[in-house]
Structures are given as structure tokens and as C-alpha cells.
Amino acid sequence: MNWIFYNTTADLSEAPEGIREFLSYIENETVDGDFTKLLDKKVKNARLNEDWRSITEAEARKMLHL
């Protein structure tokens, strides 16, 4: 497993456009382009799916040893 941490509040002026768009979405849920439109749609669908949410929450607790 690899962990990657992104600082969503950093100065993103030198970051590639795709990364800037993604981090802006993570920080503010701002939809700026095709990728974040698709991502936003998938996130909203996942939030509505109780089975997916319960599995995800259980996995998150397991990973965080809660």
C-alpha cells in the first residue's frame, strides 16, 4: 500500500491543471471541468448508496484501528 498526501490549501499556481482542479474539488467541492463533473457525480451517487457507505466506513475504521 502506498499513501500519498496532498496539501489542498497550498499555493497551487505551479501545479498541473488536472491536479489543481482535483485539489480544488477536494477542498471546496468546486466543479471546474469534465473530470470533476464526473467525480462529483460519482461522489453524490456513493453518498446515496447505503451499502457502499457502510462498507467504506467499516474499512476506514479498520485502517485507522478504530
Task: Tell me which of 58 and 66 has the higher pLDDT.
Answer: 58
**How high is the pLDDT of residue 34?**
92
Grid cell listed for 8: 489542498
Residue 66, pLDDT above cutoff 90: no
Q: What are 8-64's pLDDT values in tens digits?
A: 888 888 888 888 898 989 888 889 899 999 999 988 887 887 776 666 667 777 766
Contact indicator for 60, 41 with CB cutoff of 8 Å: no
Q: What is the dihedral of CA 65, 27, 55, 1, to 10 degrees?
A: -60
CA–CA separation, 1 and 19 (whole Å): 21
